[in-house]
Amino acid sequence: MEGLMRWLKMVGRNKALLLMVLPGAVWFLLFCYLPMPGAIIAFKDYKFSTDGFLASIIESDWIGLKNFEYLFKTEDSWIIVRNTLLYNAVFIVLGTTLSVIVAIIISQIANKKMAKIYQTGMFLPHFLSWVIVSYFVFSFLSVDKGVLNQFLTFIGVDPVFWYSEKEYWPYILVFVNLWKGVGYGSVIYLAAIVGIDKSYFEAAMIDGASKWQQIRKITIPMITPIIVIMFILAVGGIFRADFGLFYQVPRDTGALYPVTNVIDTFVYRGLKVTGNIGMSTAAGLYQAVVGFVLVIVTNFIVRKINKEQALF
Amino acid sequence: MDNGVVVEQHTGKPNMKRKKMRDIHHLTPFWNMMSHLAIGLFSLACVYPFLFVVIISFTDEKALARDGYSFFPKQWSLDAYTYIFKTSDQLLRSYGVTLFITVVGTLLSLAIVSLYAYAISRSYFHFRGFFSFIAFFTMLFGGGLVPSYIVVSQVLHLKDTIWALILPMCVSAFSILIMRTFFKTMVPDAIIESGKIDGAGEFRVFFYLVLPISLPGLATIGLFSALGYWNDWFNALLYIDDAKLLPLQSLLIKIETNIQFILQNSAVSGGTERSAIARSLPAETTRMAMVVLATVPIIFAYPFFQRYFVQGLTIGAVKE
């Protein structure tokens, strides 16, 4: 009773600040926390009831892990997990490497005006939606009008039906992803390079170290901690795919699903196309739980390396 | 962005012969050229596809049908744009929808996020821990797409309303994180205290003392939010069937899928019927013109706002 009184007193004293968090808190409740218990659909044979959301959930029968069993029996479950993990692994390794290289080169360019112009150009793709990017890609890959097929015809090679031949798509998707992300990704490393104490470089110059030696012996070691942190944090998100890349860029083409279907597109199609709500929810929950564990584990590792950089 | 690497002025004679005497402050001319070449080419490759689409949109439709997409079209034409502005009510409508959700969504987002972030940035807020937790936990775990979809469509009944395009993305824990860091570092408790001593309430302090000095932070999260709304198609894909509410990006998707549908069924359906539908669809140059119109505002705006995006990215990377 006394505790409650104290609590109410606290509420009273923090009235204004509580009012400030109220709209946000309501939003989190409606759009984030209300759906969470909804994930129990994964353990039910979901049937839509006209009496609303709660009735639909309550009236649907419990079926235990059946949805998960179906999910893992399908060939898709293996393909989507493989695609998600492999693509993300390649994106992380190549993306980090290229971003660091670009950051180092930009930091070496003496003409600051040009460096800024280059950077502005490199930023552009980040600001465009995947829909726009898919149109860009189409201007290259269109079977009858695309630039690539014009070139192939020009050198006397048969044109390729890009949107129906799946063996090219792993390369295309990796290329497009790097094109969109490397410029923006380099920002954080460039900021780290700029933050290095200048006296290191000055001392090295006095000792006669070349630029190349400075990069190898000062720049790279100094930014290694941030590279490691960014790398580990990216690994924490390896179970989540970029829906737009895998859905828009291949134009949702069925023939390409074996190499473009990832967990996120699978969940979406289960919901909106095939209507397999139970299995789709199960796949989403599976992704959320594994993703959660990965973030916790990677954050734990980051904490061990450098407490400052950990998310929590 | 000023990347501030100190490069001292070249003071030595430029044509010193012995390698040892080379000015070590600069790259050798060869490597300097290679750096410019590599970064310049990459930068060009990032801009090139947009320029290409612009050129296609100004290409004559017949020349396009004959030669395919070309960077140097044989015939230029403004037809695509005149066609759009004369006939395409849908495009103008979609422009209106996108503009509306961008403006309203961004303002709403700024209001909710800045209030929330300010409250949890104050060390004297008794419930700070709890509200920080419920915000940041959402970055780690979510119910997934299907339950969210069901809540938005069946509990909140937002399907086929403009709010389905605004509300689901109006708060982000990431923006709250950025703003909280900003308030923590830029607005010391002392300022607040001085305001309170003068008798101002929490809201008064927030609006008259805190907001005016927080404009750079607000610009950063406001731009993130505006960009998100302008580029959004996912919410429309989930919740919007009504053509009146289609934002620009979704209109582009619709056009694309309709054309594919016709191409895929071209063998099945009757010839005349098919060509009638085909005629009602925008021509290739028109579609590219629509892509250009959807992109142009971003292209012209982002170089001016670039530093705020960089700022957000670097603040977001630093805890506290």
Q: Report the CATH number that the domain containing residue A208 is assigned in CATH.
A: 1.10.3720.10
Domains identified in chain B, total number: 1
Residue spans of alpha helices (H) in A109-219: 112-123, 130-141, 147-154, 169-194, 198-206, 211-214
Task: Please give the residue range of the domain that contains residue B131.
Answer: 88-247
Task: Please give the residue range of the domain that contains residue A228.
Answer: 66-309
- The residues, any chain, with a CB within 8 Å of residue B197's CB and separated by 6 or more, are none
Tell me the average pLDDT across B196-213.
86
**What pLDDT is stored for residue B4 in this prediction?**
39
CA distance B251 to B254: 5
The alpha-carbon gap from B99 to the nearest alpha carbon of chain A, in Å, equals: 16
**pLDDT category of residue A39 using cuts at 50, 70 and 90:** confident
**pLDDT category of residue A62 using cuts at 50, 70 and 90:** confident
The alpha-carbon gap from A80 to the nearest alpha carbon of chain B, in Å, equals: 16
User: What Å distances lie between residue A114 and A60, A192, A194, B43, B300, CA to CA?
Assistant: 63, 20, 17, 11, 19
* pLDDT tens string A170-190: 999 999 999 999 998 998 899
Cα A118 vs. chain centroid, distance in angstroms? 25
CA distance B28 to B51: 33
CA distance A266 to A243: 10
Residue B97 counted as domain residue: yes
**What pLDDT is stored for residue B8 in this prediction?**
38
Tell me the average pLDDT across A257-285.
92
Residue A23 counted as domain residue: no
- Checking if the pLDDT of A229 tops 50, the result is yes
Tell me the average pLDDT across A112-135.
93
Residue A89 counted as domain residue: yes
**What pLDDT is stored for residue B273 in this prediction?**
53
Q: Which of A100, A117, A139, A180 to mutate to test the interface with B (most CBs of B within 10 A)?
A: A139
CB atoms within 10 A of CB A212: 12
**What pLDDT is stored for residue A275 in this prediction?**
85
Residue A4 counted as domain residue: no
- Checking if the pLDDT of B15 tops 60, the result is no
Residue A214 counted as domain residue: yes
Kindly write down the DSSP assignment for every residue of B61-114, as one continuous string: HHHHHHH-S-SS-SSB--HHHHHHHHH-HHHHHHHHHHHHHHHHHHHHHHHHHH
The alpha-carbon gap from B165 to the nearest alpha carbon of chain A, in Å, equals: 13
Domains identified in chain A, total number: 1
CA distance B224 to B221: 5
Give B64's contacts in chain A (Cβ within 8 Å).
Answer: 145
Q: Where are the beta strands (DSSP E) in chain B?
A: none
**Token pair recorded at residue B188:** 């010391």
Q: Whats the size of chain A, residue-wise?
A: 312
- Is the separation of the CB atoms in B308 and B301 below 8 Å? no
Tell me the average pLDDT across A142-148.
89
Residue A163 counted as domain residue: yes
The most confident of B60-64, B161-165, B295-299, by mean pLDDT:
B161-165
**What pLDDT is stored for residue B134 in this prediction?**
95
**Which of A196, A241, A244 lies closest to A84, judged by CA?**
A241
**Token pair recorded at residue A297:** 């584990």
* pLDDT tens string B241-294: 998 999 999 999 988 877 666 655 554 444 555 555 555 566 788 889 999 999
User: Mapping DSSP to helix (H, G, I), strand (E, B) and coil, where does residue B260 land?
Assistant: helix
Residue in this structure with the two tokens 């599976």, named with its chain if needed:
A286
Inter-chain touch A187–B127, beta carbons under 8 Å: no
User: What Å distances lie between residue A103 and A45, B32, B50, B92, B308, CA to CA?
Assistant: 52, 15, 24, 41, 19
Residue of B nearest to A294 (CA): B140
Residue B200 contacts A, CB cutoff 8 Å: no
Residue B231 counted as domain residue: yes
**What pLDDT is stored for residue B2 in this prediction?**
40
* pLDDT tens string B125-170: 999 999 999 999 998 888 889 999 999 998 899 999 999 999 999 9
Residue B44 contacts A, CB cutoff 8 Å: yes
* pLDDT tens string A187-219: 889 988 988 988 999 899 888 888 888 999 999
Residue B185 contacts A, CB cutoff 8 Å: no
* ipTM field: 0.89
Residue B274 counted as domain residue: no
CA distance A254 to A270: 14
Tell me the average pLDDT across A54-78.
84
**What pLDDT is stored for residue B19 in this prediction?**
45
- Checking if the pLDDT of A271 tops 80, the result is yes
Tell me the average pLDDT across B65-76.
87
* pLDDT tens string B16-50: 444 444 455 567 788 888 999 999 999 999 999 99
Residue B29 contacts A, CB cutoff 8 Å: no
**What pLDDT is stored for residue B5 in this prediction?**
40
- Is the separation of the CB atoms in B150 and A38 below 8 Å? yes
- Checking if the pLDDT of B7 tops 60, the result is no
Tell me the average pLDDT across A81-86.
96
Residue A24 counted as domain residue: no
The most distant pair of C-alpha atoms in chain B lies apart, rounded to whole Å, by 81
Residue of A nearest to B164 (CA): A31
Residue A27 counted as domain residue: no
Sign of CA dihedral A135, A141, A143, A148: positive
- Is the separation of the CB atoms in B187 and B210 below 8 Å? yes
- Checking if the pLDDT of B103 tops 60, the result is yes
Residue B25 counted as domain residue: no
> A3-17, A50-64, A288-302, B306-320: which has the minimum mean pLDDT?
B306-320
Q: Of B39, B151, B201, which has the smallest distance from its Cβ to A118's Cβ?
A: B39
Q: What percent of chain B has pLDDT over 90?
A: 42
Task: Kindly report the average pLDDT of chain A as a whole number.
Answer: 90
Residue B190 counted as domain residue: yes
Q: Where are the beta strands (DSSP E) in chain A?
A: 44-45, 61-62
Residue A124 counted as domain residue: yes
Say what the pTM is.
0.87
Residue B122 counted as domain residue: yes
- Checking if the pLDDT of B312 tops 90, the result is no
Q: Of B45, B140, B168, which has the smallest distance from its Cβ to A31's Cβ?
A: B168
Q: Report the CATH number that the domain containing residue B200 is assigned in CATH.
A: 1.10.3720.10
